[in-house]
Structure 1
Amino acid sequence: ITPYRAYIATDAMLRTLFRLFITRQNLLRWNTAEAVDSSIINSLRGYFLTMISSTGAALVLLLVLIYKNEPTVATLIYLVVIMSWAFAFLLSYRISQSKEYMEEEIKDSDKELLLDTSRRTWLFFKELSTKENNWLCPDSYQIAMVEKHSEKTSPTNIGLQLLAILTARDLGFETLSATLTSVENLMETVHKLTKWKGHLYNWYHINTLEVLSPAYISTVDSGNFFGHLLALKQGLLEQLENPILSKNIAIELQKTLIQSHYEGSIQEHYATIGEFIEDITDIWDELQGRERKQEEDPRWINELARMIEGIVEEAGTFKLKGDRFESQPNLVQLAKQGNKCAKAMVERIQKMSTKIDCLLCNADFRFLYNEKRMLFHIGYHVSSQTLDAGCYDLMASESALTSFLAIATGEVPQRHWSKLGRPLTMVNGIPCFVSWSGTMFEYLMPNLVLKEYEDSVYAQTSKAAVLQHIRYAREAGIPWGISESQYYRFDLNANYQYKAFGVPKLRLQPVRRNSMVVAPYATILALDYAKEEGFANLRLLKTLGMYGEFGFYEAIDYNSPDSVEMTPYCIVKSFMAHHQGMNLVAINNFLNHGIMRNRFHSEAMVKATEALLEEKRQSHLISIAKRGYTIKISKVYFREELYSNRYINSIAPKLPVTNYLSNNKYSLLLTSDGDGFSSYKDMMLYRFRADPYANSGNYIYIKDIGTGLLWSNSYHPTRVEPDKYQVIFSPHQAEILRRDGTVSTRTVISLDTNRNIEIRKVSLTNHSNEDKVIELTSYMEVVGDTNLAELSHPAFNKLFIESEYLEEQGIFLSKRRSGKQNNYPYIMHMLRTGVQPRKRVEYENDRLKFLGRNNTPQNPERVVDSIPLSNRAGFCNDPIMSLRILITIKTGETASVSFITGVCNSKEEAIAIGEELGKPYHIDDIFEKFKLQTEIELKYLEITRSQINAFQNLISPIFYPARPYRGPYENIRRNYKNQSFLWRFGISGDNPILLLSVKSIEDSEMIRDALKAYEYMKLNRLVVDLVILSDAKHGYLQELDDLVNDLTSSLRLYDADNSKPSLFLLHSYQMIPAEIDLLMTVARVVISDKTGIYFRNVKEKQQDLIEE
């Protein structure tokens, strides 16, 4: 074989030199003579003609030996070499035959299953790739929970979409013209995309073509894209000599007729293409002249009409009606005959081939390559201009195609291949390389275009990996085919989560529990290695409900039993673009004898490098693997996390204790004394000051008319000391309990899950021996604007609020007058009760009238003196919202009044909410639903009972700054810089700062806790900047940075509005001491190894707060 390899290398060099220095033409065309003979390469004669250089060399060496005629021991060695060279073509033919050539034909039913899957899968690309999204297929299309598709795509998606288009042509779903048009449309988009050193970015928005943040270059994505482009190029060049109308088109047209439930049919055989065209034209005419029948499938009827239209147009364009299917001319022949359309088509294909070569030539893989380690970095962060510290260092990896391609193009040395790790395990006595995650994806995805040679370590590895997957699934009692995929877990936006799942024996990565998520695409990839088992598995998956409109669903998750359907699994009802593309290409390879692999390997530079794929088991590179482990749990007892409460048993604690509630749009902060704020997005509903003595909040006054005793439902604003007082803060509500004389007050405060309202349910119990007449009056100072705007011009800000009272519904509405740019919502306030009021509800909108001259919210005149409210609305200089109700409570009984505050977009919406809240027990249902949502959110974020209490305790100093939570006194004393000095770090200083000071990798648990707190705050619309200040020693800088980057990468920080997370990583060695002093000074909370997130050193907090 050596003479043949020498011939290929010499041929490539001479052609390159000839084109560079003599002709100056075809510089981007790298098809050697042997590539032109690819049509006969799979025959014995083809191998003989292609490798005749090896046979010729053997003949020359034999003649030399005969001429010398010196029988020696060396002569015997020469004879062995001569024989090996002479019959090298025979050996090469044998070992190059993929196993599918030597196996019996598949069953018709199995073949039909694959073709039907392909047909449905192709519709996924056909229907979702539209002009509006620049012909780019969305990354995923989800059906369950919420029907949606993502508006992004990746280089791997694009590469597989291009191969899917080519596959549709191979299988007869598309005409040549439609195929080329689709490729041109998509490639035109590719040329528009912003690139970095010739590489596509990791993610693009499919509508705007913008690079999605963070700007990143993925090594493996780039390798996949360019590898698939080469296969596409050769597939297009094949079309020059392939029949224009293949028999597959006629066969698939017949199947589409059946799929659409159309009554007509076409013949199996036609004498000429013209007869076939006449028959399908009749069908076309009949379809156009009538309405659809009820039993016909509209989607497939439309597909049938589209196919017929394309076939008829193609036959007419290339004048094929008089030809037979078997003897029709190809494009090249038609072009030579003077067919202008054929000439134009040839030119388009050649132009596309040149464009692909240009794209590959412009791509620079060298900057992703680590010269010292001789490995590829995982990727490159463009914004920070840094390479990932980690490298792809395993042979059994999806990055194998990237490595092979980079060697073939000459951008990295061949020794890189030998540096890829080959840890070994044994499966049924077959050697198998171990991968990182043990997924089918890692083992089989590169094989979509890379050949495997019989008895090579790569072929053995793939076969063994499939066998182990089958064995593992059989032992678990589930279908086989575990791989990376979406699984039955949702983020807060109801999107399926994505993860790599594998089997224990094949992975290096340690995991907490075994994987039980089965992806159908893994079975389709493995059909080459386990045909019978594969088809049986696909049929099983189909019976389990895994088959949909676009083929097989994404996955079936046995880690998540379905309690509704009473099944041990949940189906992940979505379709991912790259898995759909892999399905199509794998089926095409299986049915058409490795057609994509043959195309990729027909490239001269690939052919010259494919010796790397012939590595045998005896290679010295193989070593025994230390596999990953699984923490096995034989039985899992699920225990509900009981979230503890925080109890405040005193009034006016030294450090304010707060509780923060949010439904992700509407938020409420409440102190144990009753102060706080309510906000909708960034709009404050009422006045707030970060001062425990400022009386800012939403208050409810309570007055016993008989005794004249006045108090409030909380300690503030009246500051009347109760006989007993306790506040209970829970993750889902706040509860204030107090006893004043013979009346006990219980206030429960919570939010609505779906509507932007808060409910303050006040329950009063009469413990006296006589009936009580109780007056309840609410009070809040309306803002309806951002907190910053109100703080900047408080008096001016009050002038633009108009109020209105809906008498019939009992709803008080206030709204800020909207300018051209802003459209403020209504602020609504109402009360609901099951008790009959003694008189109609009163209302007030004027603060001065309510408080009286020289009075404060601690002693409002209208409440102290029981003066009726004015019942006036409209404009005033100092607006408030106040409602009053007078009720009777019989001895020993309890009466409840619920005060509702919130926002709405219209009066009609406010009225509808009021009617709903008037229904019996509806408010209690709202409390239960919000409790359930809060528990789901905490479980989703994996927050423990101790963590949630710590997070809530951290929120208090963010709004009410407290000395024990701030930085060291020495730093604050030394500081002389102002807020503007933070700007060079990208920190505005306008938001409260949470500062995390870390010194070593030993602080990892504290970092996790702080990031979890930040994640919780961000997802609940609490605006805060997290600054991580790394003070690690130089030898440990990278290790600590890698830890922080790894932990932050998994955070769910982008909310529904896609706002940017304000998280900053700073290094002390890059800062001057004065800047560190400034950070320590402005930070509301400073977390260090001395405090942790729990601040157990804060004694003042421990005295007033009990957590149980």
Structure 2
Amino acid sequence: MKSLRLTSGILLAFILAMGSLLAPVAHAATRDAASSGELNGAQRAALYAMAAQTWRFFDADLDPNTHLPLDNIGFNGAPARGAYTSPSNIGVYFWSVVAGEDLGFISHKQALQRANATLSEVEKLSKWQGFLFSWYDTGTGHRISGPGGSDQEGQPVQGAFISTVDNGWYATGLILVRQAFPELAQRATALFDAMDFGIFYDNGDQSTNITAGQMYGGYNADQGPATFHYGMLNAETRIAAYIGIGTHKMPGDVWWRTWRTLPADFTWQGQPPQGSNVTYTDPQSGKPFTLFEGHYSSNNINFVPSWGGSMFEGLMNNLIIPETTWGTHSFGLNDQHYAQAQIAYAEQTLHYPVWGLSPASTPDDTGNYLAYGAHALASNSNCCPYDETAVTPHASFLALTVAPQDAFKNLEELLVRYPSLYGPYGFYDAVNPSTGTVGHRYLVLDETMIIAALDNALRGEKMQQHFMQDPVIAAARPYLEGEHFSI
């Protein structure tokens, strides 16, 4: 199909034809017109229509037995109902509740009722030292071995994996609840304070061990830390470092000891890193740290790479941490460069008509999930590269804050080229840009990234504002403000 660049009005008309826009929504979209000078009124109205359609997902996705979010919902032969959930799913579901109120889809009373119902169930979930296990059945709330796996409620927990990053996202949900719902603050804080993120910190000898000072990828209950580390700072896993530093359970060492690029002698990385050594003083301890401020370059764009080159590795944290305003010389700048580098890679290297490589459902109806990423943006491209055969719409929404016009135009292109990508709850999860095949699934993690991104884009970074008021999140500010990336 020949590419057509839709105008904003045509895009809005398309979405209206899909039945996604209700009368109160158009008015609400205009209320905060001053919140973004980069998107015009018609574009904002179109995005609001998408938000209205996306919001419907969160009514369908909640399990009525427990008020826990289902992992996914499928159509057109894809598995219809993923009746399991994770700490990440639970944490970001709270984001969706707050975004729904911010965007005018529910009242504060309705949002409070939803948050309270889910929080009440979370209080009853089995835990280990306050941390959530990896998987739960949404029908019973019981701990399970994995998606669709066996019931493990009441069984010994020794060796059960406690995920660092999943519990980091769970923690963000509790932070948001205490900020957005004062009535629930004491209960949310009690759940939050029960977790000691210090267990994920490697306090080994930094003079002899290159991974000492980094985070372990998890902890095996009643046994000890996982055997792998999170070595890259530009990854979604840095949310746990933000939480660890903000709660003073991890020293600021974790920020400086986690790599911007892999060490140069790691010859299997994507490309030799460029940059130089820089010494910083930790804002909390006053200790000096010398680190290599490295970067990669692709299509004449410099950026600090991620592990796999995916969009959510680079930009998911920016949904809630105001990296764009606090880190104008560090992550705020890199978030912009990283998005532009992935756009250029998809268009100029892969010759795709659309962009947005990020973990998502496979573009079919098998119900599978795969990590997708741009090889040039990845540290792992010479050892274990991510796949490059699917584009996911959530990547465009993630880029709204740092590249609003590019993101909007890509959403237009996705709609005109692949109209079957748009379904009852907005964009389905993935499309193969070469064949046009679609994965007809909605994942709560990806739908929440979309609704949170729209909350920021349409309400003046409202989601970020909720978080920046919390002292745990505010502790990140001097780290973001004080560092200058080599890009």
Match among 353, 358, 368 for residue 200 of structure 2:
368
The C-alpha deviation readout for 1:94-139, integer Å capped at 9, x for no partner, is: xxxxxx989525223321222122112221111221422x111210
The C-alpha deviation readout for 1:468-510, integer Å capped at 9, x for no partner, is: 11112212123111111111356xxxx4221111112210113
CA distance in 1, matches of 2:330, 2:364: 37
CA distance in 2, matches of 1:186, 1:557: 35
Cα distance, 1:379 vs structure 2: 1.5
Paired residues in the alignment total: 394
Match of 2:375, as an amino acid? Answer: P
Match among 190, 205, 227 for residue 172 of structure 2:
227
1:123 aligns with 2:68: no
8 Å CA contact 2:55–2:425 kept in 1: the answer is yes
The C-alpha deviation readout for 1:711-734, integer Å capped at 9, x for no partner, is: xxxxxxxxxxxxxxxxxxxxxxxx
Match among 174, 190, 196 for residue 358 of structure 1:
190
Partner of 1:142: 74
Partner of 1:213: 145
8 Å CA contact 1:469–1:503 kept in 2: the answer is yes
CA distance in 1, matches of 2:91, 2:47: 22
| Structure 1: gaps of 5 or more residues | 1-99, 238-348, 562-567, 625-1108
Tell me the secondary structure at the aligned position of residue 583 of structure 1: helix
Normalised to the residue count of structure 1, the TM-score between the two structures is 0.34
8 Å CA contact 2:174–2:191 kept in 1: the answer is no
Match of 2:256, as an amino acid? Answer: S
The C-alpha deviation readout for 1:1-45, integer Å capped at 9, x for no partner, is: xxxxxxxxxxxxxxxxxxxxxxxxxxxxxxxxxxxxxxxxxxxxx
Match of 1:615, as an amino acid? Answer: G
Cα distance, 1:414 vs structure 2: 0.9
Partner of 2:415: 542
Cα distance, 1:610 vs structure 2: 1.4
Superposition pairs of residues 68-217 of structure 1, within 5 angstroms: 104=37, 106-132=39-65, 134-213=66-145, 215-217=160-162
Evaluate the alpha carbon distance shift between residue 609 and residue 441 of structure 1 in structure 2; reply closer, same or farther with a 3 A threshold: closer
8 Å CA contact 2:89–2:444 kept in 1: the answer is yes
8 Å CA contact 2:91–2:173 kept in 1: the answer is yes
Match among 523, 528, 531 for residue 404 of structure 2:
531
1:468 aligns with 2:341: yes
8 Å CA contact 2:429–2:440 kept in 1: the answer is yes
Match among 485, 494, 513 for residue 360 of structure 2:
485
CA distance in 2, matches of 1:447, 1:592: 15
1:505 aligns with 2:376: yes
1:435 aligns with 2:306: yes
CA distance in 2, matches of 1:146, 1:518: 18
Cα distance, 1:598 vs structure 2: 1.6
Partner of 1:53: none
Partner of 1:594: 461
Match of 2:166, as an amino acid? Answer: D
Cα distance, 1:156 vs structure 2: 1.0
CA distance in 2, matches of 1:102, 1:506: 31
CA distance in 1, matches of 2:306, 2:372: 12
Evaluate the alpha carbon distance shift between residue 604 and residue 387 of structure 1 in structure 2; reply closer, same or farther with a 3 A threshold: closer
Match of 2:220, as an amino acid? Answer: H
1:575 aligns with 2:442: yes
Tell me the secondary structure at the aligned position of residue 182 of structure 1: helix
The C-alpha deviation readout for 1:796-822, integer Å capped at 9, x for no partner, is: xxxxxxxxxxxxxxxxxxxxxxxxxxx
Superposition pairs of residues 657-806 of structure 1, within 5 angstroms: none
Match among 230, 234, 250 for residue 396 of structure 1:
234
Partner of 2:426: 551
The C-alpha deviation readout for 1:341-384, integer Å capped at 9, x for no partner, is: xxxxxxxx1xx1111111111112122222111121112233x8
8 Å CA contact 1:431–1:457 kept in 2: the answer is no
CA distance in 1, matches of 2:307, 2:162: 21
8 Å CA contact 1:139–1:577 kept in 2: the answer is yes
Moved more, 140-149 or 172-181: 140-149
The C-alpha deviation readout for 1:33-73, integer Å capped at 9, x for no partner, is: xxxxxxxxxxxxxxxxxxxxxxxxxxxxxxxxxxxxxxxxx
Match of 2:447, as an amino acid? Answer: Q
8 Å CA contact 1:395–1:433 kept in 2: the answer is no
Match of 2:231, as an amino acid? Answer: D
Cα distance, 1:454 vs structure 2: 5.5
1:418 aligns with 2:256: yes
CA distance in 2, matches of 1:513, 1:610: 32
1:585 aligns with 2:452: yes
The C-alpha deviation readout for 1:846-872, integer Å capped at 9, x for no partner, is: xxxxxxxxxxxxxxxxxxxxxxxxxxx
Match of 1:479, as an amino acid? Answer: V
Match of 2:167, as an amino acid? Answer: S
8 Å CA contact 2:94–2:176 kept in 1: the answer is no
Tell me the secondary structure at the aligned position of residue 453 of structure 2: helix
Evaluate the alpha carbon distance shift between residue 513 and residue 235 of structure 1 in structure 2; reply closer, same or farther with a 3 A threshold: closer
CA distance in 2, matches of 1:587, 1:162: 15
Cα distance, 1:532 vs structure 2: 1.3
- Of all paired residues, the percent bearing the same amino acid is 26
CA distance in 2, matches of 1:199, 1:175: 31
Match of 1:150, as an amino acid? Answer: G
8 Å CA contact 1:455–1:616 kept in 2: the answer is no
Superposition pairs of residues 6-45 of structure 1, within 5 angstroms: none
Partner of 2:274: none
Tell me the secondary structure at the aligned position of residue 217 of structure 1: strand
Evaluate the alpha carbon distance shift between residue 513 and residue 190 of structure 1 in structure 2; reply closer, same or farther with a 3 A threshold: closer
CA distance in 1, matches of 2:82, 2:474: 38
CA distance in 2, matches of 1:167, 1:514: 31
The C-alpha deviation readout for 1:1030-1066, integer Å capped at 9, x for no partner, is: xxxxxxxxxxxxxxxxxxxxxxxxxxxxxxxxxxxxx
8 Å CA contact 1:488–1:496 kept in 2: the answer is no
CA distance in 2, matches of 1:360, 1:101: 35
Tell me the secondary structure at the aligned position of residue 297 of structure 2: strand
Normalised to the residue count of structure 2, the TM-score between the two structures is 0.77
Cα distance, 1:418 vs structure 2: 0.3
8 Å CA contact 1:439–1:482 kept in 2: the answer is yes
Partner of 1:458: 331
1:409 aligns with 2:247: yes
Evaluate the alpha carbon distance shift between residue 463 and residue 512 of structure 1 in structure 2; reply closer, same or farther with a 3 A threshold: closer
Match of 2:59, as an amino acid? Answer: K
8 Å CA contact 1:432–1:457 kept in 2: the answer is no
Structure with more strand by fraction: 1
Partner of 2:317: 446
8 Å CA contact 2:247–2:472 kept in 1: the answer is yes
CA distance in 2, matches of 1:525, 1:380: 30
Partner of 2:289: none
Evaluate the alpha carbon distance shift between residue 454 and residue 512 of structure 1 in structure 2; reply closer, same or farther with a 3 A threshold: closer
Cα distance, 1:536 vs structure 2: 1.1
Q: Which protein has the larger Cα radius of gyration, Structure 1 or Structure 2?
A: 1
The C-alpha deviation readout for 1:691-745, integer Å capped at 9, x for no partner, is: xxxxxxxxxxxxxxxxxxxxxxxxxxxxxxxxxxxxxxxxxxxxxxxxxxxxxxx
Partner of 1:1058: none
8 Å CA contact 2:78–2:440 kept in 1: the answer is no
